[in-house]
Structure 1
């Protein structure tokens, strides 16, 4: 039995009658949304066979399953990054396990740096496309055709219907929701001013160290994906300030309520 199958079997035994259809992955500074989940079943990652352990400050490292916005959800309170020393293929495990327990859609959130001064810290950006600047892919290696195709079409990596529904809810709530292209860099160092200038030329609107590998894995196994970036800083050289993870956490927490309200209302809008 493969690692993600062991993970899914363990989770199924824990779930009882719960049947989450929506998975949510929370980024840096955004973990407080999981605290709003009703009747929560909390499972630390270290208890789940095959799951890596989250090591980044600000990521609790637990799966919270319960009700949010009248929907059964499975919420990852903390995620995994390549800069933690995790091999790309290990990133397959959580999403494939969530798929096997019944999740059909995944909403990804992250903290990101803006490449445009008009999209300032505290803004929200709905990801419409991405650039994988790492040269790495969690789908590298032997392919399991029972999960997904060897060569995955990413023309619609981020589901159009999910994006439309999130935009509609944001408009109803009078929340300004930017749309843009997210660029994935490995980290853990922040980018240089020269890199920021290059990424802007490539067509990126925001940059971060996550989300893209999860999108690739989720799409490979047939899940629909949407993703929202919480803008925590301007890119290096744009503000004159030094960048820090503390700033990422602080600004992420400031935007957490706005993003949390949007997510809850979006969940309530689902059939």
Structure 2
């Protein structure tokens, strides 16, 4: 029994047991016992769910153990089971909990752990983010080659040591490049948020090897690796980062860039997923 107001993932709960319970919910609600690939749809990527394949079932995320309603516009709040033309089952996660919501890392990575518990061996993480390279432009999709975790936090608990070499699997990036050889790549820096980065922070990220700045993905990728999944990451460059562009940043700009690019990037993602 949990205390009134408590969340299923609050200590002393076992987060992996909660993920298994969520996976059992998904199997029951969708009628699909096992999924092969999971995709988290970030800002601008939502239309990909329509193109990946035939929707078998769509479930409100709040009906699945441990999931909450998304706090951010651009995230749809559903979990969808899709069957690809090749007969594979894809779990589409449209319910992302961001670190800046202050719910704790367990809730941030619960969707990834749940995806692993459904059987998915590949995790595709997408986001909308700021670009540091001045050769990039809003609406451009970029592969994530690596990340720098600037949250000073981790989904790993206790003496859990996980190798993050090739975290964003070269094998999967090669598949994406076979679909679109023009894709550029870069190192993603996860800041805590929810405020945008200052120009000085963007220059710091650049100095330490970052190309992309955002508020998600890195913690989820670590949890996916812990669960034994291969990870593929995509960023939609929704704006040039602070100080790279002279224009002020706004969330509306992020939404608008995603809306303008959604047809092209969703078709790209659907084709890549079909080859995984």
Q: Using the TM superposition, give the Cα deviation of residue 18 of structure 1 relative to its aligned residue in structure 2, in angstroms.
A: 5.3
1:76 equivalent to 2:76? Answer no
Mapped partners of 2:271, 2:175: distance in 1? 10
Distance 1:32 1:164, change over 3 A: same
Query: Which deviates the most, 95-104 or 260-269?
Result: 260-269
Secondary structure at 1:254 match in 2:
helix
Mapped partners of 2:222, 2:126: distance in 1? 15
Aligned pairs for 1:66-215 within 5 A: 66-68=82-84, 70=86, 71-139=88-156, 141-142=157-158, 150-171=160-181, 176-215=182-221
RMSD after superposition? 1.6
Distance 1:65 1:133, change over 3 A: same
Aligned length: 259
Distance 1:257 1:102, change over 3 A: same
Deviations 1:94-134 (A, max 9, x none): 21211111111011110010001101112111011000011
Q: Using the TM superposition, give the Cα deviation of residue 8 of structure 1 relative to its aligned residue in structure 2, in angstroms.
A: 1.5
Mapped partners of 1:165, 1:110: distance in 2? 19
Mapped partners of 1:82, 1:17: distance in 2? 30
Deviations 1:18-63 (A, max 9, x none): 5320100011122122233423311111111111321111111110
Secondary structure at 1:31 match in 2:
coil
Deviations 1:129-148 (A, max 9, x none): 00001101122x346xxxxx
Contact 2:44 2:236 in 1 (8 A): no
Query: Which deviates the most, 154-163 or 7-16?
Result: 7-16
Q: 2:72 aligns with which of 31, 56, 62?
A: 56
Mapped partners of 1:262, 1:69: distance in 2? 16
Secondary structure at 1:181 match in 2:
strand
Contact 2:96 2:108 in 1 (8 A): no
Mapped partners of 2:153, 2:32: distance in 1? 38
Q: Which residue in 2 is equivalent to 1:25?
A: 40
Mapped partners of 1:63, 1:131: distance in 2? 28
Q: Using the TM superposition, give the Cα deviation of residue 170 of structure 1 relative to its aligned residue in structure 2, in angstroms.
A: 0.8
Give unpaired runs (5+ residues) of structure 1. Answer: 144-149
Mapped partners of 1:58, 1:254: distance in 2? 13
Q: 1:259 aligns with which of 240, 254, 265?
A: 265
Deviant stretches of 4+, over 6 Å: none
Mapped partners of 1:93, 1:203: distance in 2? 29
Q: Using the TM superposition, give the Cα deviation of residue 69 of structure 1 relative to its aligned residue in structure 2, in angstroms.
A: 5.3
Q: Which residue in 2 is equivalent to 1:146?
A: none
Contact 1:108 1:225 in 2 (8 A): yes
Mapped partners of 1:267, 1:3: distance in 2? 27
TM-score, normalising length: structure 2:
0.89
Q: Using the TM superposition, give the Cα deviation of residue 267 of structure 1 relative to its aligned residue in structure 2, in angstroms.
A: 2.7
Mapped partners of 1:234, 1:134: distance in 2? 21
1:40 equivalent to 2:56? Answer yes
